[in-house]
Amino acid sequence: MSRNLQSSASTQPWKLSPSKVPTSDPDAEATLPEQVRSVFRLLTNPVVVCTATHEGVPRAMTMSSFTSLTLSPVPLVSFNIATPSRTLEALMASREFNIHVLAGDASGAAVADHFTRGNTDGVFDTIEGATYTVGEPRPGSAPLIRGQGILRVLRCTLLRDGNTDGLVRVGDHVIVVGKVDEMMPVTKVKEFGLAYADRKYRLVGGVVDEE
């Protein structure tokens, strides 16, 4: 299922607010797609930013469908993208992409929100508190975002498996399967990543332990 993140039009700084009761309530009288949508709004999902480059033009998008597939014999990850998508086109052309795991705080939410606004010209030039570089470690590589709000960066390539070639089309979406080639060096911070549920960015909360 695609999980579309909605951008806020507010220009006010991001802030932390107390958790509230979910607004989503699956209604038996609603259509089945709406009932399923309501259920998934009750579940938290990781928030990452995917970047790719095609013909020297950097592309990026925020997504919440990122997940790990396997760690052995090589780490594989997956996510899905609704089509059409400029970021997907860049990813397919270059077969390389970076996944930026975002900090579970206001700085991570700011970066996530920034890239929900589409691939407009200059979108990389206005990231508050962060910088980006293109062409590392070689020309044509995916953009690397550094700075506040970035926890980890995974450098990936599309999986070459001889069958799907790392891309599976399902309706108006494409499931992307990638191989993690490297963990890019970033500032080490001991905190959880940014999450998304019920149309809001979230922090990891309390722990449920056995007594």
Encode pLDDT of 110-126 as tens digits: 999 999 877 766 778 77
Q: Is the pLDDT of residue 2 over 60?
A: no
What's the total number of domains in the chain?
Answer: 1
Tokens of 158: 């599309």
User: Per-residue pLDDT tens for 182-195?
Assistant: 998 776 777 899 99
Q: Is residue 152 part of a domain?
A: yes
pLDDT of amino acid 199: 86
Whole-angstrom distance, CA of residue 5 vs CA of residue 103 = 16
Average pLDDT over residues 78-95: 94
Whether residue 5 has pLDDT greater than 60:
no
Using CA atoms, how far residue 206 sits from 23, 192, 193, 197, 209, in Å, is: 20, 12, 14, 16, 10
Domain-embedded: residue 74:
yes
Q: Residue 16 falls within a domain, yes or no? A: no
Query: Residue 97 burial (CB < 10 Å; 0-12/13-18/19+)?
Result: buried
- In this predicted model, which residue has the larger pLDDT, 65 or 134? 65
Tell whether 38 is covered by a domain. Answer: no
Whether 60 maps to a domain, the answer reads yes
Instruction: List the one residue out of 90, 71, 98 whose CA is nearest residue 155.
Output: 98
Q: What is the rounded CA–CA span in Å between residue 22 and residue 25?
A: 8
**Position 40 in a domain:** no
- Residue 102 inside a domain? The answer is yes
Q: What is the CATH number of the domain that holds 137?
A: 2.30.110.10
Residue 99 to residues 51, 56, 111, 142, 147: CA-CA distances in angstroms?
7, 19, 13, 10, 14
* 32-51 confidence digits (pLDDT tens): 888 888 888 888 899 999 99
Which residue is associated with the tokens 């259920």? 39
- Residue 4 domain-assigned? no
Asked whether 114 and 126 are in contact (CB, 8 A), the reply is yes
Range of the structural domain that residue 118 is part of = 48-202
Please tell me whether residue 3 adopts helix, strand or coil conformation: coil
